[in-house]
Each structure stands twice: as C-alpha cells, then as structure tokens.
Amino acid sequence: MISAALVLLAALQLVLAAIALRAGPAGLLTALLGCALAYDSAVVSVGVLLGEGPALETLSVGRFVAHAVGTPLVLPCAILALRGGRASLAGGWVIVVSLIGLGCATTLSGLHLRSRTWADTLRYADAEPGAFPVAAVLAIVILLAIGVAAWIRLRTPWIALGALAVLACSAGAFAAPPLGNVGEALMLAGLVVELRRRRSVRPAAAEH
C-alpha cells in the first residue's frame, strides 16, 4: 500500500513540475527540482518489484545524487518565485554551489548502500544512517529564513510553510522513511503556489 501511495506521490510531483514549467523561465528550475523529487519517490515505489540487486542499487545511487545536487536548488527556486533581484540570485547561487560541494563531500563520498525494508517498501539506504545530512538541513533552514522574510514583508506564507513541512516530515522520516517524500512534495507545492501567485500579481501590477 505504501509503494502504491509513493507511485501517486511521484505522479503528483510530476504534475507540480509541469505546473511550474508553465510559469515561464522562472519556473524551469522548480520543474527540474520536481522531476528529481519524483524520481526519488518512483525509485522507492518500485523497489519491491525490482527486488534486491544491481538495478535497484544503481537507481538508488541516483536518489542520493539527486538529493545532494537538488536540495540546495530550492534556494534559487525560492528567490526566482519571489522575484528577487540579481544580487539576491547571485548570492543564492554562491550558497548553492557551496552546499552542493559540502553535500557531495559528506554524503556521496564513500557512500555504501544497504537494502532496507519498511512496510511494503524496499530501498537502498546509506549503511551508516547516523551520518547527519548537514548540507540538506542547511539548505532547508535557509529556505525557511527566506520564507519567513517573505511572509513578513510580502504577506505570502507558502515558501515558509513548505520549508516547515519538509523539516517536520524529515524528523518523522527516521521512523517512517516515506514521510520524507511527503515533506518534499509539500515543499515543492509551496514553491509552485508562490510561482502561480507571482504570475497573477504581475498583470495586476502592470495595470497601475
């Protein structure tokens, strides 16, 4: 049942990615992020069908690469959704590059996978699950700060709510791993809602 739910979650993330893509150039990065998150959900959902072996293990390596590279991308996604200036976007990319380097060094370097089961799911996870995902956590904390600032200054709560959701779900994922996928979907939804709000505000502003 959990595997089937993850199939639906992956489909939802792809739908959100398609909606983001319709927002124009500002949504392209969010669409790519949505595809990466959908890939993660999809690989976990088909684990029981593929079974243990090289195929699932190889696909699982892709999950870790997607997280190491994709998670920091939430920062420029948020800045673009909020129509931040060039200086903000440039600063965001500097942080992104730093976090990707940190994530690759702490997560991908020496990665050793081991099969694990939870409910009806089968996945390959890090054999040393106690390793703290510092780069991913820093990215979400910075996203939360951006979201809170936008909530206060622009009266738009969506990015902050998405960041809070992924932090809460990630904490619960230690006991129930699929909660991490749910949190990522909620975070993506927050970014997409903000993108849609951005499109609706622009024409109104142009009339004045």
Each residue of 154-205: pLDDT tens digit?
999 999 999 999 999 999 998 999 999 999 999 999 999 999 887 766 544 4
The pLDDT value recorded for residue 127 is: 72
CA distance 13 to 184: 9
Does 208 map to a domain? Answer: no
How far apart CA 51 and CA 205 sit, in angstroms, is: 54
Residue position matching structure tokens 């699929």:
178
Calpha distance 54→176 (Å, rounded): 25
Give the chain's domain count.
1
Decide if pLDDT at 120 tops 90.
yes
Segment 97-103 mean pLDDT: 94
Domain containing residue 162: 2-203
| pTM to 2 decimal places | 0.91
**Element (DSSP H or E) covering residue 115:** strand 113-118
In a domain, 63, yes or no: yes
> What's the pLDDT tens digit per position in 29-85?
999 999 999 999 999 999 999 999 999 999 999 999 998 889 999 999 999 999 999
More reliable by pLDDT, 205 or 90? 90
Instruction: Kindly state whether residue 186 falls inside one of the protein's structural domains.
Output: yes
Specify if 164 maps to a domain: yes
> Does 62 fall in a domain?
yes
Q: Which value, in Å, is the radius of gyration of the alpha carbons in the chain? A: 17
